A and B are shown apart, each in its own frame.
Chain A
């Protein structure tokens, strides 16, 4: 079964850090671009970051640029999001999702992991 499973969410104080993981199974992880998309409580979907299939290229939404870092370990079939200098407005459910390339829809999503930034 094709599956993405996120982990690593939780409660963190403003200014703190957190690392999210997304474990992939059931498909050739190294062939796919991977993304993080977030959804604040009661709000819509917002793309956060992407990484290409071999990890050589990344991009970020302006709202997280310089604070978040996306990476992947193709040997471990795992995607990561290192989140630093967290703010209250980063509070959201974070989903990982895959695309086959840069012009593709998100066909598989994880179940999401909740990140709450609060003192």
Chain B
């Protein structure tokens, strides 16, 4: 099974900050990686697919990069609506999620 490890688990930031979340796969997953945003009591929302492709309707301040085993999600300028939990997800072999990164207000 492919394990996904996100870091950090919690991130404290302010509006306007540049935020980076890292996701590592236990083996190469090429670019078969997605990022989701989840708010309390809501379903996850797809932000990025195929490691770096922005889902339609998602603000351009979100970007993804990486391939193989190391990936990053970057929010270029954190907005009030971005305080949430973020999950990475590999779909190279079956489907596995990272444990999540909570972005909270500093």
Contact = CB atoms under 8 A, between A and B. Distances in A.
B100 A44 contact: yes
Report the contact-size class of chain A (Cβ under 8 Å from the partner): 20 to 34
Contacts of B55: 107
Interface residues of B, number: 23
A44 B97 contact: yes
Contact of B43 (A44, A59, A112): A112
Given A35-B95, A107-B55, A112-B43, 11 more contacts: A37-B95, A95-B44, A99-B91, A104-B49, A106-B46, A106-B95, A107-B46, A109-B44, A109-B45, A110-B43, A111-B43
Interface stretch (A45-53, A66-74, A78-86): A45-53
Contacts, number: 52
A112 B42 CA distance: 8
Interface of B: 32, 34, 36, 38, 42-46, 49-50, 55, 87, 89, 91-92, 94-100
